[in-house]
Structure formats: structure tokens, C-alpha cells
Amino acid sequence: MVNKLTTDMSLTGNGLRDWIVQRFSAVILGVYFFVLFGFFVFHPHPDYLILSEFFSVTWVRVFSLIALLSLFLHAWVGVWTVITDYVKPFPLRFLLEAFTILLLIIYFFWGIEILWRFV
């Protein structure tokens, strides 16, 4: 019998939807990686000015923000799965999940601040 408490903190409350979110976010991260890889192929020795110009373009900032969100959704599904599989005492599992969510939220807003600082 499945314990309802194990799905309360999942991303969507449904294993198939969590799986789809993780796969979709992986595709976004893969495309983002290839965009950055292409940039570094054409700019093998970037300095601050080149990087600043690249990340000041609106589509790069928006795509970076989408990639950042995808990274955190992907990370949450993975971490939640590992925690629910290996940490059985509910209070400890809840504490670890809450701590992970707090860190992901802090890092997400920190990433937004870094990306949009020089608007």
C-alpha cells in the first residue's frame, strides 16, 4: 500500500507527470548547454566584456532564466525521489525536503538577481 504522505511534497503529485517534467527539463538544459557550447566555440577566450554583452541580450537572459527554472525543477524531482526512497522516518524526510526546497528557492532568486542585475 502506498503511503499518501510520500507524494505530498512531490512536484506534481503524480509519478508520470514528475517523470515528464524531469525529461522536458533535461531537454531544455541540453539545448541550453549546446547554445553555451556554441558561444564558447566561437569565443574561445572570452573576457568580461564579451560575456557581459552575450548575457545582456534579452533572449539569452530569458533562455537562461528558463534553463535555471528547468534546472531547479529537474533537481527537485531527482532529490525528492532519492529522499523518499532512502529516508524512511517522516520527520527527517520532511526536514530534508523542506531544507532542499528552501535552498532551491534561494538559489533560484539569486540566479534571477545575477541574470537581471545589469538591466
Its pTM stands at: 0.83
DSSP 83: H
Are 17 and 52 in contact by the 8 Å Cβ rule? The answer is no
Domains of the chain, first to last:
4-115 (1.20.1300.10)
Taking the C-alpha atoms of residue 21 and residue 13, their distance in angstroms, rounded to an integer, is: 12
Taking the C-alpha atoms of residue 75 and residue 69, their distance in angstroms, rounded to an integer, is: 10
With CA atoms as reference, report the closest residue to 73 among 108, 106, 36: 108
pLDDT in tens, 85-109: 999 999 999 999 999 999 999 999 9
pLDDT in tens, 28-45: 999 999 999 999 999 999
Q: Which residues contact 5 (CB under 8 A, 6 or more apart)?
A: 90
